[in-house]
Amino acid sequence: MFAALAAVLLASSSLVSVYPDTTALHHQVQSGTLLQNHGVIATCDVCDSEVVTVAQGSATPLTTPVPIGYSAAELAAAYHLPASGGATGTVAIVDGGGYPSFEDDLAKYRSQFALPPCTSASGCLKVVDYTGGPPLHPDGTDEEKELSLETALDAQMVSAACPACKILLVQAPTRDFYLSSLHTATEAVPSIVKGVSTAIAAGASAVSMSFGYPSTKDINTGPLSAVFSHPGIAFVASSGDSGYHGNVHGYWPQNLPTVISAGGTALYETSDGFLSNAWNEAGSACETDLPPAHGQPAAVAAFCGGHRASSDLSAVSDPSTGVAIYNSYALDGWLTAGGTSAAAPFIAALYVRAGHLSRVDGPNTVYAAPAGAFTDVALGQNAAAHSCQTKFPQLCVSGAGWDGPTGVGTPNGLAGF
């Protein structure tokens, strides 16, 4: 989670690797074998996103002239989403840094996958800084370009899940996504909280946060987390990309009782359809500073001694079965990306599309959903069983019912939201 692309962004001409057999690469995504010959590299210090690289051990992202990751239509098929319709509303994504080609890149993605345009001129798309002011002026640093990969992933996954939704990009300072430049995570959180407040004030129906900060009592409780106490808004955060976190603390803000924790799966496409296994790096944890998530059954909280257990639900995250994204600021072309950063905005957009926000308070509706609303994920793990509490392997091993890596499972249409 704390690696970065670093100096590879300096030589953009070396970043484009044109592979003529993109069909074969797409088949590797479908079968989950892409990483047999390719590597991954994380984006920012706190981002829960990874991009596939040209080779194992390489820090050079793999770019292709056409997408090889899962398309919007394939994701819709995997999660049994309706062909059209659903409620409309605004999904806010909180990200870092300036991004001068953001609207153009979003247009490229939506055009490629036959999604309706979403532009600033039409009112569908809006970009503000974390105070609600004009978009951040791009500084062209490597760190900012890295962050644009995360932003592209977030906006394009919102587009795939809810093509009719409006998108609000809230830009926080680049520095607050790089813990190496800060003394403590607490220094970064105020701008994130301000960005969330800006999204709320702008009327967002859901707020997606694809990052995680080391949790401490001073940010787990008090005013820095009170901003998330807004029933009627779906706050969704990625559960993390470092596997089982342990039984004491999870990353902030996905650990909060009023935030929906998005776990991760590998998504395979076979002749019989799609199936999911737990991604071995999906985050799961207990948060002993906090009570159970809103609506979380006592039987689930019991795995964490009555405290908040994560995650709540999940979607595709494994970069070996990654999604297609387009970026022309850090790179120039199609990339394949993963991480629970892909799951968070996708799930946030499903909340908005389902149209039942008035009854949402944290993950309560997930746990109260009717039978069949989620597809249970019963295979895979994000740590060896013995590394979990011996009494509760459910915290890191998937099986029937709730488990840490995947929560209650993956979306089966919109009924669970």
Name the nearest CA neighbour of 377 among 313, 317, 318. Answer: 313
Structure-token match 């590597």, residue found: 39
Say which residue, 111 or 246, is predicted with more confidence.
111
CATH number, position 148: 3.40.50.200
Residue 13 pLDDT greater than 70, yes or no: no
Q: In this structure, is residue 137 part of a structural domain?
A: yes
Q: What is the pLDDT of residue 36?
A: 96
Q: What is the pLDDT of residue 245?
A: 87
CB 49 within 8 Å of CB 150: yes
Mean pLDDT of the chain: 93
Q: In this structure, is residue 142 part of a structural domain?
A: yes
Residue 248 pLDDT greater than 90, yes or no: no
Q: In this structure, is residue 71 part of a structural domain?
A: yes
Q: What is the pLDDT of residue 181?
A: 66
Global pTM reads 0.95
The tokens of 343 are what? Answer: 């799951």
What number is the average pLDDT over the span 212-236?
Answer: 93
Residue 48 pLDDT greater than 50, yes or no: yes
Q: What is the pLDDT of residue 118?
A: 98
Structure-token match 């970026």, residue found: 327
Q: What is the pLDDT of residue 416?
A: 96
Find the range with the poorest average confidence among 6-10, 112-116, 187-191, 276-280.
6-10
Q: In this structure, is residue 412 part of a structural domain?
A: no
Q: In this structure, is residue 415 part of a structural domain?
A: no
Q: What is the pLDDT of residue 187?
A: 87
Cα torsion for 208, 210, 211, 217, to the nearest 10°? 30
Angle, helices 142-161/102-112, rounded to nearest 10 degrees: 40
Residue 18 one-letter amino acid: V
Report the number of distinct structural domains present in the chain. 1
Q: Which helix (H) or strand (E) holds 77?
A: helix 72-78
Q: What is the pLDDT of residue 12?
A: 39
Residue 17 pLDDT greater than 90, yes or no: no
Q: In this structure, is residue 417 part of a structural domain?
A: no
Domain of residue 225, residue span: 6-402
Residue 350: exposure state from Cβ atoms within 10 A (0-12, 13-18, ≥19): buried
282-314 pLDDT tens trace:
999 999 999 999 999 999 999 999 999 999 999
Q: In this structure, is residue 148 part of a structural domain?
A: yes
Q: In this structure, is residue 103 part of a structural domain?
A: yes
Find the range with the poorest average confidence among 255-269, 339-353, 380-394.
380-394
Question: In which band, very low, low, confident or very high, does the pLDDT at 16 lie, cut at 50, 70 and 90?
Answer: very low
Residue 326 pLDDT greater than 70, yes or no: yes
Residue 153 pLDDT greater than 50, yes or no: yes
